[in-house]
Structure 1
């Protein structure tokens, strides 16, 4: 690939080296575990430990908190590499990022110093608890309540579909502190593992990402005053900023998984001979390959644009919601089509667990749902367009 064709040309030399090392590490130590992790449904503890050694557990954090300090395009590339090796591992990793981003964006300096270095080293795994049974697409309708007590806070409620929730060392928990203020009455709290009154149900039996577990969390806890993340009433703002970041990381997962499916399909088509010629000699197959490539590169370019805007927004205090929603929508929709085409190209073999496209197709299906469904992204995009018209 020439420099002009390299979509990652904007990465620094250090970031490119980081990603090259990560790519080799994932190929050697994470990809070989992907099929077994999926089949057995075991949480990706070992894979996360491997990523911690490579500095990936803190890749979203600045160096002042022991993070890797990579740019947003660099993070996009790194997460896509992990996802291409194992979707479950990438899901658990990016759920951890949602928790640490919450502290980075909404916490006090004391809270950042207490939690982020541990999270960056892999010593503490995080979870982000926003979604509830009746408050998914509209977090402002959450029912979990936090009330002040003589010693701090009492919080009671239920969260669902919380990635890492039952295995995390800490949970960033969002709850209503003032029901009369709507979304301005939502606050965030730091909930350590082992807190009395905190219980996680068994992992949900999911279609894909079977090694990146999601849980229902039952909460009836007393927390000290300093468990409040940042200041009261700022939780919703923090959560929305975190989800802007997270949507680009979903796009990164989609890019990595779709790239793996596309490469598997091309390799299969080159090797598969029918009637004395390889599948790749047939025009119809070449068109399928072309369509996959165009869809993937279109998603990549929009994701890179969103990543660049993320860096600018974090430097200036702005927002990049439109770019993040666009990248998440396009990448998740494109990846689903790419995986389906890759499976189709494999024929009946693609429908078996002997080939990776079957697992990748299942892993990708949730991408159009979590961290804001495709429909929610369209609401965000249209709202921004109408507001600026």
Structure 2
């Protein structure tokens, strides 16, 4: 007797999956080779996402999202990654870059930033890694000094996905350089902030359409109201973000493996 595979998705979830699957097959797949060959960020894929509200998948309805839950973000990442690693990564990093606000942001911060991410007006980025600080976050050298109603950031980050294309970055910096992990704080930084600069974009062996690069902060004034959580909570926020983003990496791998067969 043949067994029938169980589909755990609801009717609404299947509709979303089928939409993403169709778009991936008909619109994304024909562009995949060219995206990788030219190593250019595919803004046309972002526009495709905007047209079909796909960048709203990681967000609740009250912030302009679909409110369909984390599972559907993973399903979308998987379906897109089957045909184009770069395009799948765009969806994954929109989730990664917004998690700091969703996990640690105030209601005011969520209302101010999340709708612009859910609509696709902004892409997001997560800025933790530095040239001398990868897995050892306590070694980071970027500093943030409170000056009146703003923090002044100086330093830089490296290997940042969406560098140069994101409109919003969640940035980690030391507010107390002597306190190790406990001296790290998290900030929301808009890309048009004076003192924010994009540096070298790395050439890569694969996923070439996705930008990976350096960003720098030169006496960059970030409003104090853009601090996520409290001073010194940045390391905990960073680790919570990474924990929550792991399933997205799995979804990418699953999609890539299926696309390779």
Which TM bucket (shorter chain)?
over 0.9
Contact 2:199 2:213 in 1 (8 A): yes
* Backbone CA RMSD of aligned residues: 1.5
Structure 1 Cα separation of the partners of residues 151 and 227 of structure 2: 8
Structure 2 Cα separation of the partners of residues 230 and 179 of structure 1: 18
Q: Deviations over 1:17-58 (max 9, x none)?
A: 110011101111111111000000110211122122222212
Match of 1:154 in 2: 152
Larger proportion of strand: 2
Match of 1:106 in 2: 104
Q: Deviations over 1:36-88 (max 9, x none)?
A: 00000110211122122222212122222222222333322221001112101
Residue 256 in structure 1 maps to residue 246 in structure 2: no
Larger radius of gyration: 1
Structure 1 stretches of at least 4 aligned residues deviating more than 4 Å after TM superposition: none
> How far did residue 231 of structure 1 move?
2.2
Question: TM (normalized to structure 2)?
Answer: 0.94
> How far did residue 161 of structure 1 move?
0.5
Structure 2 Cα separation of the partners of residues 241 and 12 of structure 1: 28
Match of 1:299 in 2: none
Match of 1:224 in 2: 223
Match of 2:25 in 1: 27
Structure 1 Cα separation of the partners of residues 196 and 3 of structure 2: 52
Match of 2:174 in 1: 176
Match of 1:197 in 2: 195
Match of 2:123 in 1: 125
Match of 1:238 in 2: 237
Structure 1 Cα separation of the partners of residues 3 and 134 of structure 2: 43
Aligned pairs for 1:75-86 within 5 A: 75-86=73-84
Contact 2:125 2:166 in 1 (8 A): yes
Which gives a bigger RCO, structure 1 or 2 (Cα 8 Å, sep 6+)? 2
Match of 2:91 in 1: 93
Contact 1:22 1:54 in 2 (8 A): no
Give 3-state SS (helix, strand or coil) of 1:212's partner.
Answer: coil
Give 3-state SS (helix, strand or coil) of 1:195's partner.
Answer: coil
Structure 2 Cα separation of the partners of residues 84 and 152 of structure 1: 44
Q: Deviations over 1:105-145 (max 9, x none)?
A: 11111110011111011011111101111111122321111
> How far did residue 156 of structure 1 move?
0.8
Contact 1:92 1:213 in 2 (8 A): no
> How far did residue 3 of structure 1 move?
7.5
Give 3-state SS (helix, strand or coil) of 1:210's partner.
Answer: coil
Match of 2:37 in 1: 39
Structure 2 Cα separation of the partners of residues 230 and 54 of structure 1: 33
Residue 213 in structure 1 maps to residue 215 in structure 2: no
